[in-house]
Structure 1
């Protein structure tokens, strides 16, 4: 693809680009192409001097952000304003060199903003597109705000819950995948858990939506975009699944009860008077872990599943061990294990009292070494 006679670059719909690699769960439809989850991306190999993408951003409250990675190095990060616009990825570069370009969604799927979406319509380049090679290893990361990279960028003093303080790159998911030269998907939502969200809302659980493209999104528009469609698991089978959930389930024990506004039912993970976990409620959490493992295995028969936990304390680790033990006894499944990740310290904390980049780096190093041993 090159300059047409009048000096304008030729526009090609994203659905017509032969060599484009899509990262992250999305729908079958490619016109336009929707990126839902954090770390989702489009990847190109471009031989040419100049390259543009046409992106459409929508939101009511929480705007999308993107990061651009060229030849493995992050070179730009930006907030996307509402509407459809051309963004220049690079220009004036050596026309003969091949540039590997990844444009990455830097923020999570926003379940609290039904108007939030990020779509790719078209590209234009002075040059040609070449095939993007498949990675030998595939990893799926499942988690909460830690996995969404909340607070992984920004000063320690930042307290605002806004997209600016989310990062897909200053993030153990990206770091681990880079270290292992792996392709990866992320399924994550701030505040959510295995059984409930941090505030005891039982709807804030990841396992319930695992079978959909991006089922935790709400509203008519997301339904039309295909977010609620069943996910085609056979289209992308991970070799490794990393589950980093439990921090918000712990939070539910420390938080006030949640009352369902529709049914009036009250939900609360209780503590005993001495501050220990109420046995019956802890058992509910353990059952949820166990059931999620069954669901993961059913949909990913070959994957090694690692429950990696501990970046914001590890108080539910004994319960996770018991749940995995119960699962093992029932299944004799050898490919499920537990890894404790390094806790975040005063030195490694980031914005919004979440793990900072240094904490993510430490977690990635431990996880990378562990996955290497498995492989």
Structure 2
């Protein structure tokens, strides 16, 4: 069959959205970790257009710091064919690995944002393919999982060889994180709502006497996303997330508490505050998703608050009468054996081991 060039925008007609995204005029906004699109086509050539946010603008001839720009990827047939940081207001990429001289074949293309929303947002624009027919969305998978978390869920600093390398969006990679890997193992569609450094009563703080109150995750769950930067003047947090019209997760995984622990330490009054905040957050999440199972997972970067989270789960179940809430202990990382990522975060091996634990647990509650 003769191949023709097809040009299309990433609308629902042609692509399956991954995670929380929306169309702004002719551009699909990608802000949260792992957000993007997936589609299939039979053909060869693939060209993708990305747009940068305010981090790519130039003010007095000085671009914004590169370390805070969006990292994106194009994955073709499970092989990452493009991995780049968006440094310009618009960039067009001809994806390597798809040679026009090779006979046409069916390809599954996934275009996703690898880095988290706080530092950056990216826009996905026109897509061009050389194909037998127009692109089609891939079908919905049977299972849909939402992950709510912090840097662990984001894949913070996972693409560096050791803990002494500083964090940058260019070394944050959700595809190597516990969250994404768990979704893969369960053959599930996914959504990530995750922000590095955030907690329920305090974000990460170097001083346990001073809580980081500006880095609490609760305000960000029912909005589209939160970002320091804007996209064409739009603030991400100005847009609410429409739970009523969006697909409900089968399972919601909450992995929070690591940053709170930097503040709670051994203080019983703080621990009680964390316990109450966790119950309140479970109520909020359940309120928006009344049929979704909830899995509270904790321990990869230290498990000191796990028992408190178990207590919160039990209290929530008793209070709400909803019993499909579970707590699973994740084995703490073993850096001597498996190394670290940036700033003492889990390495790819540690994420993989945790994903095995979590996916097996979720299989167990689904049986």
**TM-score, normalised via structure 1 length:** 0.86
2:239 pairs, out of 213, 226, 229, with 229
Alignment of 1:97-176 (within 5 A): 97-110=105-118, 113=119, 116-127=120-131, 128=133, 129-176=135-182
Mapping 1:8-19, distance limit 5 Å = 9=5, 11-15=7-11, 18-19=13-14
- Are 1:313 and 2:319 an aligned pair? no
Tell me, yes or no, if the aligned pair for 2:34 and 2:192 is still in contact at 8 Å. yes
The alignment status of 1:359 with 2:350, answered yes or no, reads: yes
1-side partners of 2:231 and 2:104: how far apart?
A: 42
Aligned pair partner of 1:282 in 239, 264, 271: 271
Cα deviation for residue 141 of structure 1 reads 0.5
* 1:83 CA displacement: 1.9
SS in 2 for 1:321: helix
Deviation digits for residues 41-100 of structure 1 (CA, Å, limit 9, x no counterpart): 211202111011111123133111112222123344222222212111243154431100
| 1:265 corresponds to | none
Cα RMSD between the aligned structures?
A: 2.1
Comparing 241-250 with 339-348, greater Cα deviation is found at 339-348
Consecutive unaligned residues in structure 1, runs of 5 or more? 254-270
Q: How far apart in 1 are the matches of 2:52 and 2:232? A: 13
Contact between 2:230 and 2:236, CA under 8 Å: does it hold in 1? no
**Using the alignment, how far apart are the partners of 1:120 and 1:370 within structure 2?**
35
- Whole-Å Cα distance in 2 between the matches of residues 174 and 220 of structure 1? 26
Q: Cα 1:55–1:303, aligned 2, differ >3 Å: closer, same or farther?
A: same
CA distance in 2 between partners of 1:140 and 1:367 (Å): 13
Query: Is there any run of 5+ residues in structure 2 with no aligned partner, and where?
Result: 56-63, 206-210
CA drift of 1:157 comes to 4.6
Match of 2:59 in 1: none
Distance across 2 between alignment mates of 1:11 and 1:28: 17
Change (3 A) 1:123 1:222: closer
| Residue of structure 2 equivalent to 1:267 | none
Paired residues of 1:36 and 1:118 also in contact (CA < 8 A): yes
Q: Is residue 2:61 matched to residue 1:72?
A: no
SS at match of 1:125: strand
Distance 1:282 1:186, change over 3 A: same
Give 1:302 deviation, angstroms. 1.0
Distance 2:38 2:159 in 1: 23
- Give the superposition deviation at 1:225: 5.4
Residue of 245, 253, 256 corresponding to 2:256: 245
> 2:60 — aligned with what?
none
Distance 2:24 2:232 in 1: 13
Please state whether the residue corresponding to 1:14 is helix, strand or coil. Answer: coil
How many residues of Structure 1 are paired with residues of Structure 2 in the alignment?
Answer: 343
Aligned to 1:56: 51
The answer (yes or no) to whether the contact 1:47–1:130 under 8 Å persists in 2 is no
Shift of 1:217: 2.3
Partner of 2:300, secondary structure, is: coil
DSSP-derived class of the 2:155 partner: coil
Matches of residues 22-101 of structure 1 in structure 2 within 5 Å?
22-29=17-24, 31-58=26-53, 59=55, 60-61=64-65, 62-90=68-96, 91-92=98-99, 94-101=102-109
State the alpha-carbon separation in 2 of the partners of residues 51 and 232 from structure 1: 32
Q: CA deviation at 1:250?
A: 0.2
TM-score (norm 2): 0.88
